[in-house]
Each structure stands twice: as structure tokens, then as C-alpha cells.
């Protein structure tokens, strides 16, 4: 390797290199989101001064805010849970924690309820745009599908 500052060249172990790589991978996501959010914010400013149109500027500003929100959330998570060097003991504890987390989560493998919740949410939001009489059946369908999903999860938990 010809790069300067490599942990293997400086006498580091492969585990330390893997931990450093994992740290770099987790910081990439928040940097991408913050970069995209900043770029969209600049584009919103340019769009505002060049077109004088409110709807497009509002949508660009909201998209920028969403990207900046997720970027800042991921940045906080990265700063809070930055992993240290990986040792054999911490790797064993991490794999045991992963196994316990996997047992606690449940998503149905073959179920219509997630699709039904998505359709209910889309109908409800579309009804809010058109008018409340159109949103009411969508909200009822959404409530029914959430109830079905919860009932299916409880049946699985009892067996």
C-alpha cells in the first residue's frame, strides 16, 4: 500500500483497520445528506431569484430541509455512538447483542397489511388535499389495516 497514514503500515492490526473503515462508512451517509441539502438550498435561492415562482421554491426549500434534517440526525447518531477499536471481547458482545435484537423485531414475511397501510395513507393524504369527505374512507381503511397488522403481530407473539 502506498497511502500515507495507513494503520497497517504503522503497525496496526486488521481489526483496527476494519474499525476505522466502519467509522468512515458511517460518516459518509450524513455527509451525503448534508451536502445534498446544502446544494438544494442553494438551488432554491437561485430558483427564487430567477423565476419568482412560489411553488417551486417552496418544494425545493422543503426538500432541502428534509435532507438537512436527516443529515443532522445521522450526524448526531454518528457522534453519539462512534465505535472504538474492535477487540475480540467487544466483537463477541456485539454479535450477542445482534442476535438478541433480531429475535425482538418482527416483520411479516407474507402479509398484505403493509401494502394496505400504504394505500390507506395515500388515500387519506389525497383526501386531505381534495376535501375531508374523501379523506374519511381513506382514514378508515388506514385504521383497519393498522389494526390487522397489529393483530397479526399479536398472533405471532402468542405462538
Query: What band does 54 get if pLDDT is binned at 50, 70 and 90?
Result: confident
pLDDT digits (tens, 9 = 90+) for 57-91: 999 999 999 999 999 998 888 887 765 555 555 55
Are 122 and 82 part of one and the same domain? Answer: no
Are 116 and 80 part of one and the same domain? Answer: no
For residues 108-120, average pLDDT: 86
124 contacts 142 by C-beta, under 8 angstroms: yes
Backbone angles phi, psi at 6, to 5 degrees: -70, 140
How many angstroms separate the CA atoms of 55 and 81, rounded?
A: 39
Structural domain containing residue 60: 9-86
pLDDT for position 148: 92
Does residue 2 sit within a domain?
no
For the entire predicted model, the pTM comes to 0.44
Give the three cell numbers for residue 44. 432554491
Are 120 and 80 part of one and the same domain? Answer: no
CA angle 105-106-108, nearest 5°? 160
Q: Which long-range contacts (CB under 8 A, 24 or more apart) does 81-84 make?
A: 82/23, 82/26, 83/19, 83/22, 83/23, 84/19
For residues 37-55, average pLDDT: 93
pLDDT for position 1: 46
Are 69 and 31 part of one and the same domain? Answer: yes
Mean residue pLDDT of the chain comes to 78
For residues 109-135, average pLDDT: 90
How many angstroms separate the CA atoms of 7 and 104, rounded?
A: 37
Are 79 and 117 part of one and the same domain? Answer: no
pLDDT digits (tens, 9 = 90+) for 10-24: 555 666 655 555 555
Please classify residue 33 by burial: count the beta carbons closer than 10 Å to its beta carbon, then call 0-12 exposed, 13-18 middle and 19+ buried: buried
Amino acid at each position: 500500500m502506498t497511502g500515507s497514514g495507513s494503520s497497517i503500515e504503522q503497525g496496526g492490526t486488521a481489526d483496527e483497520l476494519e474499525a476505522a473503515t466502519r467509522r468512515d462508512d458511517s460518516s459518509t451517509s450524513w455527509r451525503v445528506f448534508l451536502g445534498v441539502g446544502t446544494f438544494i438550498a442553494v438551488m432554491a435561492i437561485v430558483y427564487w431569484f430567477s423565476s419568482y415562482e412560489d411553488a417551486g421554491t417552496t418544494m425545493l426549500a422543503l426538500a432541502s430541509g428534509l435532507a438537512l434534517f436527516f443529515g443532522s440526525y445521522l450526524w448526531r447518531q454518528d457522534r453519539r455512538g462512534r465505535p472504538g477499536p474492535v477487540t475480540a471481547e467487544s466483537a463477541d458482545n456485539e454479535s450477542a447483542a445482534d442476535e438478541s435484537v433480531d429475535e425482538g423485531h418482527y416483520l411479516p414475511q407474507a402479509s398484505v397489511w403493509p401494502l394496505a397501510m400504504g394505500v390507506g395513507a395515500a388515500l387519506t393524504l389525497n383526501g386531505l388535499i381534495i376535501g375531508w369527505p374523501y379523506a374519511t374512507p381513506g382514514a378508515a381503511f388506514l385504521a383497519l389495516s393498522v389494526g390487522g397488522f397489529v393483530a397479526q403481530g399479536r398472533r405471532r407473539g402468542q405462538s
